[in-house]
Amino acid sequence: MPATKKAIEVANIAAAAAAEKLAENIIALDVTEPMPLTDVFLLASGRNERQVAAIADEIELKLHEAGIKYLRREGKETGRWILLDFGDVICHVMHEEDRMYYSLERLWKDCPVVKLDAVPTA
């Protein structure tokens, strides 16, 4: 069963917020098949800790304005990998070095990519 329409809408709001703070490599993966607890992983990169924190803050703010509150937040203190759990969507905002090291796209390579309206396709 693919990601719900609501999850895709939430991912689009989060992606637009990340893009507003100049996040790079924004991608959303439909993880419903291997992970029954959530629908979409949103991945975004920042060049430094301050930008990573700013991206995460903007995602949190824009989703809060849309009436969606996070359930959990991890990693805010270090600013290297901030995880924002919104239930159906989990946002991974990572420092570009950590993103390359952990290579989440490779780990979840079998998952389909969700088309994001806010992010131009290459």
Q: What is the CATH number of the domain that holds 83?
A: 3.30.460.10
- Number of other CB atoms surrounding residue 97 within 10 Å: 12
Question: Residue 71 — very low, low, confident or very high, per pLDDT cuts 50/70/90?
Answer: very high
Cα-Cα-Cα-Cα torsion 109, 51, 24, 102, nearest 10 degrees, comes to: -20
Count how many domains the chain has: 1
| Residue 122 within any structural domain of the chain | no
Phi-psi region of 35 (alpha: psi -120 to 50; beta: other; left: phi over 0): beta
Q: What is the pLDDT of residues 7-57, one digit of tens each?
A: 999 999 999 999 999 999 999 999 999 988 999 999 999 999 999 999 999
Using a 10 angstrom Cβ sphere, with 0-12 exposed, 13-18 middle and 19 or more buried, the burial of residue 25 is middle
CA 20 to chain CA centroid, nearest Å: 13
Q: What is the pLDDT of residue 122?
A: 47
Which residue segment(s) compose the domain that 59 sits in? 5-114
| Residue 120 within any structural domain of the chain | no
| Residue 121 within any structural domain of the chain | no
| Residue 60 within any structural domain of the chain | yes
- Counting residues of the chain whose pLDDT is more than 90, the rounded percentage is 89
